[in-house]
Structure 1
Amino acid sequence: MLKKIVATALLISAGLAHAFAPQAGTWVVSSELDGKPGRGLAIDVQNDTFVMQMYAYESSGQPTFYLASGKIANNQVSAALIRYSGGRYLGSGALSGKEAGNAGTANFRFTSGTTGFVTLPGEPEKAISRFNFGYPFAAPSLVGVWSLTSIGTDGLLSDAVQLATNLGPTSTGNGLVASPDGLFGCEHQISGNLAGSVLCVKINSQGQLQRSYLFTYSVNDGEGYSMRSSSGTQQMLSVRRLANPQGTGTGLVYKAGEPVAAEHPALRAHLSDVAAHGFAD
């Protein structure tokens, strides 16, 4: 039974073996993330079109930027890195930038929605990652409204849940955050085989385990697996934050204001049991 849950954790850490779109947002070269000004990447993917804007520097130290666009397939893309100059500056009149040369080809390969590698002209391949500057790996970052959708042999399943109350840490995590009715809870795992991921469990009012979720996420999006209690069948999982801890929507309108219920005594027990043992065959 432990093998299934460990295998899930290993699959997540290695990157899911299916096609996915890299998350739109600010990305960084991981080895250059030192808290000081440096290079950065703005990445977006719409349908199969990949666009990357890169802010960098000339050999003289002057700042510059590049644009690359191409078709992404099998989580990879190669595109010309085009430099621009002569555009509008602060306080100027109407000006249009012009291409100022092709720096070469940039090659990207993504290992998950938030991690990957880039090979820039004249440089070896380097790891890149989605830059997360607003959500630490801590219980308060889970507060908000979430949508969890899985697909597999159990069919297409979806849960929308508001996580509102920090019930304190379990033996493997740093704070179990539960829904107002106390029947759904999630926690960052900081020890054991699932360390580095988020584990959630859903129970019914009788305290019976209905489903568990295991995923990694960055900012508003995540990916992982869900499992049904009766069989342990794994389903691919897509996770989306619908509202942040302050109640501000991230793209959808929702109805808030549910009354807060006391912690269900089975919620913590089931989360700790899944974290330690997984599902029985």
Structure 2
Amino acid sequence: MMLKKWVVIGAVLATGVAHAFAPQAGTWVVTAENNGKPGRGFGLDVQNDTLVMQMYAYDASGNPSFYLSAGKIANNSYSGALNKYRGGRYFGSGDLTGREDGSAGTVSMRFVSGTEGFIQFPNEPEKAINRFSFGYSNAPAHLRGIWTLVAINKTSETLDKLDYFGLEKLVDGSGYGTGGIASTDYQYVCENLTSGPNAGLTMCLKFNTSGSVIRANYFRLSVNEGEGVAGASGATANDLLFVKRITNTVGDATGIQIKNQPADAVPVDAAQLSNAMQRAAENPVDRSLLESRQDDAPVR
């Protein structure tokens, strides 16, 4: 089978292009503190050049507390006051307005990608952070869904390739990852790589009908988004690649525009189809159009 002919190509994610980027919105954790036990974490959102951080942590007595920091992010870095609050509404209370309760100090962050960076809390050394993924693993089945891959030529800054495909069928992998998953026509095959020169990347290959790779994509994936490089092969992967998961593993849309069919919608059954076909067959069409086309047809 053509899938067993995969060759892992030494593609590197570094493109040599320096640019600013927005950290992905979501739940973030201190990497070293991600041990599966209750702890502290924070949510990040960036809109335009404004970053908002909401953090849940504990005070010196062990009481849970929350903090908020907001301000401008520039050159992939942020620094601002980590403000405390008290006196707001509690569950079952009436209308209460919270108020600021001082600041725990300054929090500073610098990001090396949309999903990784470093943070320095008050009175602590700088520590690595990453966006927390809690709904997906490296299992090939967790790549199931519909995807779009957009490749931009970094020299001309124009669209080079656009791929749109669904991943459904589990297949043999390269031997460097957790196993592959393919489109139903086997034109696209993807795998999360865990060893070799591309460990930590997701690889998606496009095949022609002869079983040869005609497009190689390598990217860092975080939940429903990814960034990386693409090209005719790993050795020529010089395009900037932007990845978006359109539907998740159970077919639900991941965006805010495309909506799934309402739960109370009545599905079309065989009888409805037959009735619709009957009505269409009984509807007279303007045959003069067809007859004129026949008259104009060349004599064979």
Q: Scaled by the length of structure 1, what TM-score is found? A: 0.82
Give CA deviations for 1:85-134 in whole Å, capped at 9, x if unaligned: 11110000111111110222111001111110001111110111111111
Please give the alpha-carbon distance, in whole angstroms, between the structure 2 residues aligned to 1:16 and 1:91.
Answer: 53
> How big is the shift at 1:168?
2.4
What is aligned with 2:137? 136
What is aligned with 1:226? 230
Give CA deviations for 1:235-262 in whole Å, capped at 9, x if unaligned: 111111111110011015389xxxxxxx
Please give the alpha-carbon distance, in whole angstroms, between the structure 2 residues aligned to 1:86 and 1:31.
Answer: 33
> How big is the shift at 1:228?
2.5
Q: State how 1:42-81 maps to structure 2 within 5 Å.
A: 42-81=43-82
Q: 1:67 to 1:47 in 2, by over 3 A?
A: same
Please give the alpha-carbon distance, in whole angstroms, between the structure 2 residues aligned to 1:25 and 1:130.
Answer: 7
What is aligned with 2:258? 253
Residue 104 in structure 1 maps to residue 105 in structure 2: yes
Structure 1 stretch displaced more, 204-213 or 139-148: 204-213
The residue type paired with residue 24 of structure 2 is: Q
The answer on whether the counterparts of 1:48 and 1:73 sit within 8 Å (CA) in structure 2 is yes
Q: State how 1:116-195 maps to structure 2 within 5 Å.
A: 116-152=117-153, 153=155, 155-156=158-159, 157-195=161-199
SS at match of 2:91: coil
Q: 1:206 to 1:103 in 2, by over 3 A?
A: same
What is aligned with 2:288? none
SS at match of 1:141: helix
Greater RCO structure (CA 8 Å; 6+ sep): 1
What is aligned with 2:287? none
Structure 1 stretch displaced more, 221-230 or 42-51: 221-230
Please give the alpha-carbon distance, in whole angstroms, between the structure 1 residues aligned to 2:219 and 2:196.
Answer: 15
Structure 1 stretch displaced more, 121-130 or 149-158: 149-158
> How big is the shift at 1:176?
1.3
Please give the alpha-carbon distance, in whole angstroms, between the structure 2 residues aligned to 1:17 and 1:237.
Answer: 15
Structure 1 stretch displaced more, 211-220 or 152-161: 152-161
The answer on whether the counterparts of 1:143 and 1:164 sit within 8 Å (CA) in structure 2 is yes
What is aligned with 1:6? 10
SS at match of 1:140: helix
The answer on whether the counterparts of 1:16 and 1:112 sit within 8 Å (CA) in structure 2 is no
Q: 1:233 to 1:187 in 2, by over 3 A?
A: closer
Instruction: Give the count of matched residue pairs.
Output: 249
The answer on whether the counterparts of 1:16 and 1:111 sit within 8 Å (CA) in structure 2 is no
> How big is the shift at 1:196?
1.7
Larger Cα-atom Rg: 2
Unaligned 5+ segments in structure 2 are 1-8, 261-300
> How big is the shift at 1:206?
3.9
Q: Scaled by the length of structure 2, what TM-score is found? A: 0.77
Please give the alpha-carbon distance, in whole angstroms, between the structure 2 residues aligned to 1:220 and 1:191.
Answer: 22
Unaligned 5+ segments in structure 1 are 256-281
What is aligned with 1:238? 242
Please give the alpha-carbon distance, in whole angstroms, between the structure 1 residues aligned to 2:51 and 2:151.
Answer: 25
Name the % identity: 51
Q: 1:16 to 1:196 in 2, by over 3 A?
A: farther
Please give the alpha-carbon distance, in whole angstroms, between the structure 1 residues aligned to 2:53 and 2:37.
Answer: 22
Please give the alpha-carbon distance, in whole angstroms, between the structure 2 residues aligned to 1:68 and 1:117.
Answer: 16
The answer on whether the counterparts of 1:228 and 1:234 sit within 8 Å (CA) in structure 2 is no
Residue 212 in structure 1 maps to residue 207 in structure 2: no
> How big is the shift at 1:6?
3.4
Q: 1:41 to 1:93 in 2, by over 3 A?
A: same
> How big is the shift at 1:209?
2.8
The answer on whether the counterparts of 1:146 and 1:160 sit within 8 Å (CA) in structure 2 is yes
Please give the alpha-carbon distance, in whole angstroms, between the structure 2 residues aligned to 1:130 and 1:54.
Answer: 14
The residue type paired with residue 36 of structure 2 is: G
Please give the alpha-carbon distance, in whole angstroms, between the structure 2 residues aligned to 1:40 and 1:144.
Answer: 29
Q: 1:63 to 1:16 in 2, by over 3 A?
A: farther
